Amino acid sequence: MSTAENTLAQHADAAETGHAKADLEQLAQRQLLRLATAGSVDDGKSTLVGRLLHDCKAILADQIAHVQTVTASRGGARGTGGDFDFALLTDGLRAEREQGITIDVAYRYFATDKRSFILADCPGHVQYTRNTVTGASTADVVIILVDARHGVLEQTRRHLAVAGLLRVPHVVLAVNKIDLVGYDQAVFKGITKDVTQLADQLGITDIQAIPVSALIGDNVVDRSPATSWYTGPTLLEFLENASGRSDLSAQPLRFPVQYVIRPQTNDQYRDYRGYTGTVASGTITVGDPVIVLPAGRRTTVAGIDRAIVTPTSTAVAERPSAVAGEAITVRLTDDLDVARGSVIVAADSSPGTRRELSATVCWLSDRPLTVGARLLIKHTTTTAQAIVTKINGALDLNTLGVIDAAGLDLNDIGKVQLKIAAPLAADPYSSNIITGSFLLIDAHDGWTLAAGMIDDEEGELL
Amino acid sequence: MTATTLPSATTLVPAASPVTELDALESESVFVFREVAAEFERPVILFSGGKDSIVMLHLARKAFAPGAVPFSLLHVDTGHNFPEVLAYRDATVEALGLRLEVASVEDYLADGRLRERSDGTRNPLQTVPLLDAINTHRFDAVFGGGRRDEERARAKERIFSLRDEFGQWDPRNQRPELWSLYNGKHKPGEHVRVFPLSNWTELDVWNYIARESIELPSIYYAHQRDVFERDGMLLAVGPYSQPRDGETVERRVVRYRTVGDMSCTGAVASTAASPAEVVVEVAASELTERGATRADDRVSEAAMEDRKREGYF
Q: Which residues of B touch A315 (CB under 8 A)?
A: 7, 65-66
Residue among A7, A131, A277 whose CB faces B176 most closely: A131
Q: Which residues of A touch B183 (CB under 8 A)?
A: 378, 439, 441, 446, 448
Q: Which residues of B touch A118 (CB under 8 A)?
A: 199
* Contact: A327, B31; criterion CB under 8 Å: yes
Q: Which residues of A touch B211 (CB under 8 A)?
A: 28
Instruction: List the alpha helices (DSSP H) in chain B.
Output: 21-39, 51-64, 83-96, 105-110, 127-137, 202-212, 275-284, 289-293, 303-310
Position B15 scores a pLDDT of: 32
Contacts of A120 (CB under 8 A, 6+ apart): A34, A35, A36, A37, A105, A106, A107, A134, A135, A136, A138, A139
* Contact: A109, B149; criterion CB under 8 Å: yes
Residue A319 pLDDT > 60, yes or no?
Answer: yes
Q: How confident is the model at residue B170 (pLDDT cuts 50, 70, 90)?
A: confident
Among A19-33, A226-240, A436-450, B144-158, the least confident range: A19-33
Residue B87 pLDDT > 50, yes or no?
Answer: yes
Q: In A46-133, which ranges are E strands?
A: 106-111, 116-121
CB A142 within 8 A of CB A48: no
Residue A2 pLDDT > 50, yes or no?
Answer: no
Q: Between these two residues, B3 and A77, which has the higher pLDDT value?
A: A77
C-alpha distances out from residue B85 to A313, B15, B51, Å:
21, 36, 10
* Contact: A303, B3; criterion CB under 8 Å: yes
Fold of A31-241: Rossmann fold (3.40.50)
Chain segment A194-226, per-residue pLDDT in tens: 999 999 999 898 999 999 999 899 999 999 999
Position A100 scores a pLDDT of: 64
Residue A456 pLDDT > 80, yes or no?
Answer: yes
* Contact: B61, A314; criterion CB under 8 Å: yes
Residue among A104, A326, A381 whose CB faces B174 most closely: A104
Q: Between these two residues, A9 and A414, which has the higher pLDDT value?
A: A414
Q: Does domain B21-203+302-310 match CATH 3.40.50.620?
A: yes
Chain segment A279-296, per-residue pLDDT in tens: 999 999 999 999 999 999
* Contact: A448, B178; criterion CB under 8 Å: yes
Q: Which residues of A touch B28 (CB under 8 A)?
A: 327
Q: Which residues of B touch A70 (CB under 8 A)?
A: 301
Distance from CA of B120 to the nearest CA of A (A): 23
Distance from CA of B159 to the nearest CA of A (A): 11
Residue among B3, B272, B285 whose CB faces A10 most closely: B285
**What residues does each domain of chain A span?**
31-241, 249-346, 353-454
Position B297 scores a pLDDT of: 54
Position B80 scores a pLDDT of: 86
Q: How many other CB atoms are found less than 10 A from the CB of residue B295? A: 22
- How many CB pairs (< 8 A) connect A and B? 310
What is the rounded CA–CA span in Å between residue A179 and residue A218? 8
Position A279 scores a pLDDT of: 97
Q: Which residues of A touch B140 (CB under 8 A)?
A: none
Position A449 scores a pLDDT of: 96
Q: How confident is the model at residue A29 (pLDDT cuts 50, 70, 90)?
A: low
Residue B210 pLDDT > 70, yes or no?
Answer: yes
Residue among B20, B269, B277 whose CB faces A28 most closely: B20
* Contact: B207, A24; criterion CB under 8 Å: yes
Residue B167 pLDDT > 90, yes or no?
Answer: no
Distance from CA of A456 to the nearest CA of B (A): 19
What is the rounded CA–CA span in Å between residue A32 and residue B206? 17
Q: Which residues of A touch B171 (CB under 8 A)?
A: 93, 95, 103-104
Position A333 scores a pLDDT of: 96
Q: Does domain A249-346 match CATH 3.20.20.140?
A: no
Q: Which residues of B touch A105 (CB under 8 A)?
A: 156
Contacts of B42 (CB under 8 A, 6+ apart): B137, B138, B139, B140, B141
Position A8 scores a pLDDT of: 33
Distance from CA of B129 to the nearest CA of A (A): 25
| Sequence-separated contacts (24+) of A14-18 with Cβ below 8 Å | A14/B280, A14/B281, A14/B283, A14/B284, A15/B277, A15/B280, A15/B281, A15/B284
CB A178 within 8 A of CB A148: yes
Contacts of A373 (CB under 8 A, 6+ apart): A387, A388
What is the rounded CA–CA span in Å between residue B186 and residue A380? 19
Q: Model pTM?
A: 0.89
CB A391 within 8 A of CB A371: yes
Q: Which residues of B touch A277 (CB under 8 A)?
A: 34
What is the rounded CA–CA span in Å between residue A45 and residue A212? 12
Position A265 scores a pLDDT of: 72
Taking Cα atoms as reference points, which of B214, B16, B289 lies closest to residue A31? B16
Q: CA torsion sign, B281 to B259 to B154 to B118?
A: positive
Q: Which residues of B touch A258 (CB under 8 A)?
A: 31, 34-35, 38
What is the rounded CA–CA span in Å between residue A275 and residue A345? 13
Residue B200 pLDDT > 80, yes or no?
Answer: yes
Mutation test of the interface with chain B: which of A2, A3, A433, choosing the one with the most B Cβ atoms within 10 A? A3
Distance from CA of A424 to the nearest CA of B (A): 15
Average pLDDT over residues A2-25: 41
Among A18-32, A210-224, B294-308, the least confident range: A18-32
Three-class SS state of A269: helix
Position B95 scores a pLDDT of: 93
* Contact: A138, B176; criterion CB under 8 Å: no
Q: In this structure, which amino acid lies at residue B265? A: T
Average pLDDT over residues A245-258: 88
* Contact: B66, A116; criterion CB under 8 Å: no
Residue A175 pLDDT > 60, yes or no?
Answer: yes
- List the CATH code of the domain at A353-454: 2.40.30.10
Chain segment A93-141, per-residue pLDDT in tens: 666 666 666 667 788 888 888 888 999 888 777 666 778 888 899 999 9
| Reported ipTM | 0.89
* Contact: B280, A334; criterion CB under 8 Å: no
Q: Which residues of B touch A306 (CB under 8 A)?
A: 13
Q: Name the average pLDDT for chain A.
A: 86
Residue among A4, A266, A323 whose CB faces B15 most closely: A323
CB A38 within 8 A of CB A124: yes
Nearest CA in chain A to B298: A66
Residue A16 pLDDT > 50, yes or no?
Answer: no
Residue among B185, B207, B232 whose CB faces A446 most closely: B185
* Contact: A11, B35; criterion CB under 8 Å: no
Position A73 scores a pLDDT of: 75
Position A249 scores a pLDDT of: 87
Q: Name the average pLDDT for chain B.
A: 85
Distance from CA of A371 to the nearest CA of B (A): 23
* Contact: B234, A24; criterion CB under 8 Å: no
Nearest CA in chain A to B62: A307
Q: What percent of chain B has pLDDT over 90?
A: 54
* Contact: A307, B62; criterion CB under 8 Å: yes
Residue among B14, B67, B305 whose CB faces A94 most closely: B305
Contacts of A423 (CB under 8 A, 6+ apart): A293, A294, A353, A354, A355
Residue among A21, A66, A326 whose CB faces B27 most closely: A326
Among A59-63, A320-324, A337-341, B193-197, the least confident range: A59-63
Distance from CA of A316 to the nearest CA of B (A): 6
Comma-separated ranges of CATH 3.40.50.620 domains in chain B:
21-203+302-310
* Contact: B12, A319; criterion CB under 8 Å: yes
Average pLDDT over residues B96-109: 91
Position B20 scores a pLDDT of: 82
* Contact: B20, A10; criterion CB under 8 Å: no
Chain segment B4-26, per-residue pLDDT in tens: 333 333 333 333 345 788 999 99
Q: What percent of chain B has pLDDT over 70?
A: 89
Q: Which residues of B touch A103 (CB under 8 A)?
A: 171-172
Residue among B156, B211, B301 whose CB faces A104 most closely: B156
Among A7-16, A128-137, B20-29, B97-106, the least confident range: A7-16
Chain segment B229-288, per-residue pLDDT in tens: 887 788 888 877 888 888 899 999 999 988 877 777 888 899 999 999 999 988 887 777
Q: Which residues of A touch B22 (CB under 8 A)?
A: 28
Taking Cα atoms as reference points, which of B80, B78, B74 lies closest to residue B47? B74
Q: In this structure, which amino acid lies at residue B260? A: G
* Contact: B292, A262; criterion CB under 8 Å: no
Residue among B17, B153, B185 whose CB faces A249 most closely: B17
